[in-house]
Amino acid sequence: MNSLTLLVRPRWIEGESWPGFLLRLSNANELPGISWLASWLEAPVAQLLVERPQEVLARLGYTASDAPAVQYPKQRMQALRAGEKGEQRRARLLMQGRRLQSAVCPCCLSGDQTPYVRAVWERPLEVGCTIHQRQLLRQCTSCGKKLLSTRPRLTECSCGASLLTQSVPALGTAWTSLLHPFGLERRTASDETFQPIPYREVVATAALERIALYERQQEPVKRKRRVSAKLDAADLGLALPWFTSWPASFARRYRAALEAGRGEGEDRRTSYIQAKTLFAPMFPRLNKVVRAVAKELNYRPRTCLQLGVQDYLACASQSVASAAKLLGVTYPRALWMAKQGVLAGSTQVSTYEMQIPTEAVLDVMARLSAAEDWRVAAKRRGCKDRAIKQLLRIGLIECIPLGDKGECRVDPDSWDAFVDYIVSVAQPLPGGRTSFFTLDAVIGASQRPTPDPERTARIVQAIACGTLPVYARPSNPDRIDDLLITPEELKMTAPRHV
């Protein structure tokens, strides 16, 4: 690169874009655009744009060069020539996009004492001016051409039309809510001076375009020609509702997208919107929401969302997921039931997959439909949760276990028969005695310090045989908590330490 001492050397303005500054510099020296400056320096325009600002400024006769030390990813630019692939190609695209695209806010420019291009205006997600709440101008309204950094004059399109007087549609500021989820907060003007477009923002734009594409559904995939091109207004309108009340709005729509899948009618596939298509791992905030939704969906019946009950029952055996769907329980619960033998005849296929006979599922389905939740059953007949757990442990009452913690569904007939029998053997409360325990407290306490089904069984057996008398407080007892036991008689039947 040549050296060149310019006659007029304007100072950069805080927040100014590098191509914008070079354009302003050219104009101040009566040069029609960056390409002329580049030819005087005997360097390609692309090099001028990706070179470090400090070096270029030194070539142009700036002495005490305290220009912002901006580092362009120049290494990657050179490395990609040989065998370019993936990341490198993207870096090159990024630089190419940077070379040409430009956007301005006509209102800001016409209000400037010295019109200059803000660095943030070149960012792919910067679609509007937050001060004037209007879209940024990207296309000359007079000739329809795209605005490029290589135009001859900063405030004019190459067709000669002034950019200062062109009108752009109003936009508001809602679009700024797109920045936070992608971790793209804007810094102060001085920190933005000469900054290039971050790769992360280019990817964020691609993710937003994919969301917009998903919202459109029917249209064919439209590829971006230039990576630094801005999100267009239509895409913005479609993607924005995902971010307006972050993160709830995003989580809701993302979940719906995953569940709905792709395609029409019977032909359903996995959703177009996925963690990988949104590049979620690159954006910590976005990734957090995406992972939370995925985790939540994992605990639901999967793979079988589109098939009907008939389709399952036609098979001889079921997967855990389909059993969960048929039984109306969660996936881990179905897995537990298969492993514990509640679903008889289940065989292990792999760590998380079982083969469950359809007959076993049907059998449990029938029993479940008639059964009652154990808490509801306990409450209905005046029994504490602790006590009914003990009674269920001794196996007299029919129930379908659903988990390790004692969750189950109880057969109401068997439960009522048991309670009715215990109540029927109760005697009227004798006079003169003052000290009593209620029966459900005694049964509930028999699990302390460790569950002891033996002792519970002894108590129940003694009541049934008449060796442990139970007394009823009202004359017509109906519930377990109506029944009383004396401490002395209890001690004789079921002492704590045998």
Binding site for Zn ion (CB under 5 A): 105, 107-108, 129, 131-132, 140, 142-143, 157, 159, 161
Angle between helices 34-41 and 18-28 (to 10 degrees): 80
Min dist CB 8 to Zn ion, Å, is: 26
Q: How far apart are CA 235 and CA 237, in angstroms?
A: 5
Min dist CB 137 to Zn ion, Å, is: 10
Task: Select from 43, 145, 51 the least CA-distant residue to 100.
Answer: 145
Residue 143 vs 362, nearer CB to Zn ion: 143
Residue 129 vs 460, nearer CB to Zn ion: 129
Backbone angles phi, psi at 27, to 5 degrees: -60, -40
DSSP 158-207: TTS-BSTT----B--SGGGGGTGGGT-----HHHHTT----HHHHHHHHH
Min dist CB 109 to Zn ion, Å, is: 8
Q: Which residue has the tokens 């109760």?
A: 426
Residue 115 vs 181, nearer CB to Zn ion: 115
Min dist CB 110 to Zn ion, Å, is: 9
Q: How far apart are CA 412 and CA 299, in angstroms?
A: 29
Q: Which residue has the tokens 């290494």?
A: 75
Q: Which residue has the tokens 């907060």?
A: 185
Residue 137 vs 273, nearer CB to Zn ion: 137
The number of beta carbons lying within 10 Å of the beta carbon of residue 57 is 20
Residue 45 vs 104, nearer CB to Zn ion: 104
Looking at residue 410, the DSSP 8-state letter turns out to be: E
Residue 101 in 3-state DSSP? Answer: strand
Residue 141 near residue 167, CB atoms below 8 Å: yes
How many CA atoms lie less than 13 Å away from 327 in the CB half-sphere? 36
Residue 143 vs 366, nearer CB to Zn ion: 143
Min dist CB 130 to Zn ion, Å, is: 8
Q: Where are the beta strands (DSSP E) in 278-398?
A: 317-318, 347-350, 353-357, 372-373
Cα 298 to Cα 79, 332, 383, distances in angstroms: 42, 10, 36
Min dist CB 192 to Zn ion, Å, is: 15
Residue 142 vs 330, nearer CB to Zn ion: 142
How many CA atoms lie less than 13 Å away from 104 in the CB half-sphere? 33
Min dist CB 166 to Zn ion, Å, is: 9
Q: Provide the β-strand partners of residue 483.
A: 472
Residue 134 in 3-state DSSP? Answer: strand
Residue 163 vs 289, nearer CB to Zn ion: 163
Residue 125 vs 388, nearer CB to Zn ion: 125
Residue 52 vs 146, nearer CB to Zn ion: 146
Helix, strand, coil percentages for the chain (3-state, nearest 5): 45, 10, 45
Min dist CB 163 to Zn ion, Å, is: 9
Min dist CB 19 to Zn ion, Å, is: 18
Residue 139 in 3-state DSSP? Answer: strand
**314: CB partners within 8 A, 6+ apart:** none
Min dist CB 105 to Zn ion, Å, is: 3
Residue 121 vs 336, nearer CB to Zn ion: 121
Residue 22 near residue 6, CB atoms below 8 Å: no
Min dist CB 150 to Zn ion, Å, is: 14
